[in-house]
Amino acid sequence: MKYFFLAIASSLCLHAAYANDAAPLADDPVTEQRLISISEEMRCLVCQNESLAGSRSDLANDLRREIRTLIKEGKSDDQIRSFMVERYGDFVLYRPPVKPITWLLWIGPFVILVIGIAFLLAYLRRRNTLTSNKTLTAEDNQKIDDLLNALGKNDRDGIHG
């Protein structure tokens, strides 16, 4: 058993000895900083709820490589965003511009919320009108009291029904 643990420990040490430092993503840290700031404003087209900077999908890696190439070509941030929008549409942006084609993206959730509240209110009103508020008569109250007394007597006698 002692040799087993010694073998595991030595193999872990060998793996650590062969480990390399991570290769830098770009030769220029300024380029990399621009890449990060641009890609944080864009949506991963595969993940859709994750930024392009945070996604590890193959498409996100390709898009980051494309952005890095555009940065090296001297394109401005706005030119890069325009290129991405032309290629993938406004959906690639986390904050798409407000224009007629994106109105649904901007007001859609609020419209759905208002419709849901309207349906809920209509349902509750209909349910309240279907349930009648019936006043019990003295005879009904007497029947209820007799049933409760009979139930209480059966419980005291040990009889359960």
pLDDT values of the chain reduced to their tens digit, one per residue, 161 residues: 666 655 666 665 555 444 443 344 556 788 889 999 999 999 888 887 888 888 888 988 999 999 999 999 999 999 999 999 999 888 888 887 888 877 887 788 899 999 999 999 999 999 888 777 778 889 989 999 999 998 887 666 555 54
Q: Is the pTM of this model over 0.85?
A: no
Label residue 148 exposed, middle or buried (CB < 10 Å: 0-12, 13-18, 19+).
Answer: exposed
CA dihedral 40, 45, 47, 48 (to 10 degrees): 70
pLDDT on residue 96 = 78
